Amino acid sequence: MLNRFIRVLALMLVAAALVGGSAIAQTEIVYWTHEDPNRTALEEELIARFEADYPQYKVVRVTNPTDQMAQLILTAFAANRGPDIFNMDIPNEYPYIVNGRVAPVNPAAAGYIDEQSIYDAYLPGTLDPVTYEGELYGLPLEVTNWSIYLNMNVFRDAGLDPLTDYPKTWEQLMDVAEKLTLRDGEIITRRGFDFRYPYYLNFIPSMAAQLGGKLIGDDGKSAIVGDEAWLRVLQYFKDWGPNGKNLGSPTYKAARSIFNFDNNDIGMMESGQYQAARIHNDNPSFLPGEGWMVIPFPQWEDAVADVAEAYYGHYWMVNAQASKEKQQAAWTLLGYFASHADEFFERVAVLQPTQELLNSDMFKNAPYSDVFMSDLAKAPVIYYDENSPQVLQVLKDSIEAVMLQGKEPADVLKTMREGVERALRGEY
Amino acid sequence: MWGWVFVLPALTYFAVFSFYPIFNAFWLSLHTKNPLSLRPPRFVGLRNYLDLLDSATFWNSWKATGLFTLGTAIPLVVLSLLLATIIVSRLNFQRFFQLAFYAPAVIPSVVAAAVWLLLLDPRGVANQWVNFVLGLSGVDHKWLANPEMVRFSTTVVYLWEKLGFFTIIFIAGLGGIPQSVKEAAHVDGAGGWQLYRYVTLPLLKPTTLLVSVMAMIFCMRTFATQYLFTQAGAPRESINVVTLSIYTTGIRDLQLGLANAMSIVLLLVMLVLSLLQFRLSGRGES
């Protein structure tokens, strides 16, 4: 009797172990990403479909505020507790590649024959920022370049025709912005245009490059090359700021956060193609071609090079410290995401630059795709290196010095050059 | 024996959450370490400290911290004492005033700074209110745009946030003064001001010392307001306090050794200033 009881008990334990064992066999992967309501809805749907197709995998998706991502991920990695998958903009991601914290792409798990077939699938050059010492370390969540969004109603309200009077040059931009700007004394109640502070790496080097300037010299050690070009850029911002023509300032509410609502408070602002989906989400009656349009990144009247705003990428990366099983699961999920580039474009308007998507009618017929693609063709990749956050800080301090502190461009040029060169040398 | 048993939990807590991080910070300050690198820290001796001595940014951050501490801690002590005296002298609504002034202290600094960002926006309430009071129209006081004004703005936010906290401490201190002493002084013919000047203030000295040391340490450790203001576009130089500099050096520049050296210097300065305050206070008493 006791023997039988023991046998039954043993059988039950084995059965429980098997059931429990199958649950343990499910590989859980943790994915950290930044907030974007449209993308969250899509990715949660895709994850549900993925988990149905691959029951052995479980995905935990965590969203964080965009401006907190860099420090949250850094802190997690510093404690060797980084998520299995994450994405950030490439200037922040690049140090993870250089320091060996992310794993190379597993082409087979991601659904490709080999690494070359991944390069073949994407627009040439767009995977360069995640290629390091001959290996590929990421797949693009989005590759983005900014052009200028224009509120047609604000133009009409100021007696301008948006289709003909839109600015083509930086000089015209300042003139048009002056016409569009409304003030209550010194306080601006409607800005004609404002820059996208503090993402200076996106547009400042391009503005200088149009005049022949360079952020980093060809030797990789010198910086802020071409005094005349940089002085012109600094003077432009000095004139733009509250101590100059008072057209805008970093301390006003971000232009892109108010543009969608069409409240007659911003005429133009910089953003990527994804803004279209956000406008539709926030204000469905604000329509492309009627309420808003997109114009190319301006050039200087005497530009020596046709350069558009720098493009940047958010790349999905996989933690090199994750187990082999988790890495396999992670690249399988990311390959699955990447195979739905069309849905990402259709519902979130983020561009995963696959050849297939770029050649599709859906992409070609999307509002102002031609403007964005035309700018993208002229766009350099954003400056990315181990020291890019420091370089960005130097640019930020320099622009604020001329705009807000009333410093002279010639003085700021000197400190800007010293700051960037110090960052290149890795000095404090 | 039992004494050790009773203090053991507190000692364990401080050992794990205070002393160990301090020793670890000191150890790291003698090394170079990139938080992203898997390589172990490299010993460099005092080089990080010597680099700090040579750094204009580091000295500027001390200037910003010094100005902020002087400009905030002194008004904080004086105003909280004043408020506490007024509240204690009220016969009614004491609890209401205590609650009203203490409320900002329970709001997280980040939330408080975010609320103040809205108020200090060029189109926000701050400009409207000041212009109304001064009878002006359309003047932008550049709360966040002008380097001097942004320094003033951080002081205002900090005063608003911490005033209630220190007021409550002073109220507790005032409540601890024996009524018999006041009555004796009253019988001896002391008037209201004399009572306050020669009885209340001297008996309040331990509380005043506590508040002044705490206010100084709090001010030297200020971070959230300056961080959020710079994130919102305010110029960094004038509010680049030491804690903000530690953050950018460690988190943005990935130089943990240097950031820890700055933390150790900050700790030592706070320690020396606190001891100095205790010493000066003791001398005054003798």
Q: What does A230-255 look like in DSSP terms, one character per residue?
A: HHHHHHHHHHHSTTTT----TTSPPH
User: What is the CA angle A81-A84-A90, rounded to 5?
Assistant: 100
CB B147 within 8 A of CB B240: no
* Cα–Cα–Cα angle for A22, A23, A25, rounded to 5 degrees: 65
The closest alpha carbon to A156, from A166, A171, A144, belongs to A166
Model confidence pLDDT, tens digit, residues B13-22: 989 988 999 9
- Give the residue-averaged pLDDT of B141-166: 93
CB pair distance less than 8 Å for B127 and A187: yes
A107: its two tokens: 């082409």
Mutation for A interface: B227, B229, B254, B265, most A CBs within 10 A:
B254
Q: Which residue type, as a one-letter code, is found at position B205?
A: K
| List of chain A residues whose C-beta atoms are within 8 Å of the C-beta of residue B123 | 187-189
Query: Is the model's pLDDT at B205 over the cut of 50?
Result: yes
Least Cα separation, residue B258 to chain A (angstroms): 8
Q: Give the chain B residue nearest A94 (alpha carbons).
A: B36
Tokens of B262: 């700055």
Q: Which of residues 125-144 of B touch A (CB under 8 A)?
A: 127, 137-140, 142, 144
What percent of chain B lies above the pLDDT cut of 90? 58
H or E element: which one contains A34?
strand A27-34
pLDDT 10s digits, A331-384: 999 999 999 999 999 999 899 999 999 999 999 999 999 999 999 999 999 999
Q: Rounded to whole angstroms, how far apart are CA atoms A75 and B24?
A: 17
B194 CB near a chain A CB, below 8 Å? no
Closest CA to B160 of B228, B124, B214, B109: B109
Rg (CA), chain B: 23
pLDDT at A20: 47
CA distance A215 to A238: 19
Burial label, B58 (beta-carbon count in 10 A; 0-12, 13-18, 19+): buried
Which of A404, A405, A407 is the best substitution to test chain B (most B C-beta atoms within 10 A)? A404
- Rounded Cα gap, residues B21 and A170, in angstroms: 52
B21 touches chain A (CB under 8 A): no
For residues B97 and B81, give the distance between their C-alpha atoms in angstroms, rounded to a whole number. 14
The residue in chain B having the minimum alpha-carbon distance to the alpha carbon of residue A184 is: B138
- Taking the Cβ of residue B251 and every Cβ of chain A, the question of whether any pair is shorter than 8 Å is answered with yes
Q: Is A112 helix (H, G, I), strand (E, B) or coil?
A: coil
A59, A47 Cβ separation under 8 angstroms? yes
- What sign has the CA pseudo-torsion A18, A20, A22, A27? negative
Give B123's contacts (C-beta < 8 A, 6+ positions apart).
Answer: A187, A188, A189
Distance of CA A84 to the CA centre of its chain: 20
Task: With CB atoms and an 8 Å threshold, state whether B237 touches A397.
Answer: yes
Q: Is the ipTM of this complex over 0.90?
A: no
Please list every residue in chain B whose beta carbon sits closer than 8 Å to the beta carbon of residue A393: 248, 252
Tokens 């000066």, located at residue = B280
The predicted pLDDT at position A426 comes to: 80
User: According to the model, what pLDDT value does residue B284 have?
Assistant: 54
What are chain B's domains?
45-285 (1.10.3720.10)
Residue reference for tokens 């800007």: A416
The answer to whether residue B274 neighbours chain A at the CB level (below 8 Å) is no
Q: Which residue of A has its CA nearest to B236?
A: A397
| Burial group, residue A317, by CB count within 10 angstroms (0-12, 13-18, 19+) | buried
CA-based nearest residue to B219, from B112, B85, B64: B64
Q: How many CB atoms lie within 10 A of CB A20?
A: 10
- Using a 10 angstrom Cβ sphere, with 0-12 exposed, 13-18 middle and 19 or more buried, the burial of residue A381 is middle
Residue numbers in A near B60 (CB within 8 A): none
What DSSP character marks residue A379?
P
* Inter-residue contact B68 to B151 (CB < 8 Å): yes
Report, as an integer, the average pLDDT of B52-59.
91
How far apart are the C-alpha atoms of B19 and B35, rounded to whole Å? Answer: 21
Domains of chain A: 25-143+312-373 (3.40.190.10), 147-310+387-424 (3.40.190.10)
Contact B51 A188 (CB under 8 A): no
CB contact under 8 A, A428 and B122: no
* C-beta of residue B229 within 8 angstroms of C-beta of residue B154: yes
C-beta atoms of A428 and B55 within 8 A: yes
pLDDT value, residue A242:
93
pLDDT score at B107? 83
The nearest CA of chain B is from the CA of A205 a distance in Å of: 19
Task: Quote the pLDDT of residue B111.
Answer: 84
Which of chain A's residues have a Cβ under 8 Å away from the Cβ of B146? 404
Q: Specify the amino acid at residue B190.
A: A
Distance of CA B58 to the CA centre of its chain: 19
**Residue of A185, A251, A428 lying closest to B139 (CB–CB):** A185
- Asked if A396 and B236 come within 8 Å (Cβ–Cβ), the reply is yes
Structure tokens at A23: 């649950």
Look at chain A and count its residues.
Answer: 428
Long-range contacts of B268-274 (CB under 8 A, 24+ apart): B269/B220, B270/B216, B270/B217, B270/B220, B270/B221, B273/B216, B274/B213, B274/B216, B274/B217
Closest residue by Cα to residue A136 from A317, A276, A12: A317
Check: CB of residue A383 under 8 Å from CB of residue A205: yes
Beta-carbon pairs below 8 A across chains A and B: 98
Question: Which residue's structure tokens are 């009253």?
Answer: B186
Q: B119 and chain A: CB distance < 8 Å anywhere?
A: no
Q: Verify whether the Cβ–Cβ distance B235 to A400 is below 8 Å.
A: yes
The residue to which tokens 């690198």 are assigned? B37
User: Mean pLDDT, to the nearest integer, of B65-83?
Assistant: 95
- Which residues of chain A are modeled with pLDDT < 50? 18-23
Q: Is B235 on the interface with A (CB under 8 A)?
A: yes
The Cα B155–Cα B226 span in angstroms is 10
The token duo for B69 is 């501490």
Distance between CA atoms of A387 and A86, rounded to whole angstroms? 20
Tell me which of B111, B252, B255, B260 to substitute to probe the interface with A (most A C-beta atoms closer than 10 Å).
Answer: B252
Residues 6+ apart with CB under 8 A from A204: A215, A233, A395, A399
Answer whether A428 sits within 8 Å of B37, measured CB to CB: no
DSSP run (H or E) holding A191: strand A187-194
Residues of A in contact with B231 (CB under 8 A): 67
Q: What is the mean pLDDT of residues B238-257?
A: 92
Query: Could you give the maximum distance between any two Cα atoms of chain B, in Å?
Result: 75
pLDDT at B70 over 70: yes
Count Cβ atoms below 10 Å from residue B114 Cβ, excluding itself.
Answer: 14
Across the interface, which of A184, A249, A396 has its CB nearest the CB of B145? A249
Do residues A35 and A63 touch, judged by C-beta distance below 8 A? yes
Gap between the Cα atoms of A401 and A9, Å rounded: 77
**Contact A99/B248, CB-based, under 8 Å?**
no
- Beta-carbon separation of B252 and A389 below 8 A: yes
Q: Over 90: is that where the pLDDT of B100 sits?
A: no
List CB contacts (< 8 A) between A185 and chain B: 137-140
Which residues in chain A are contacts of B144 at CB distance < 8 A?
A: 251
In the block, tokens 């420091």 appear at A390
CA A342 to chain B, closest CA, distance in angstroms equals 35
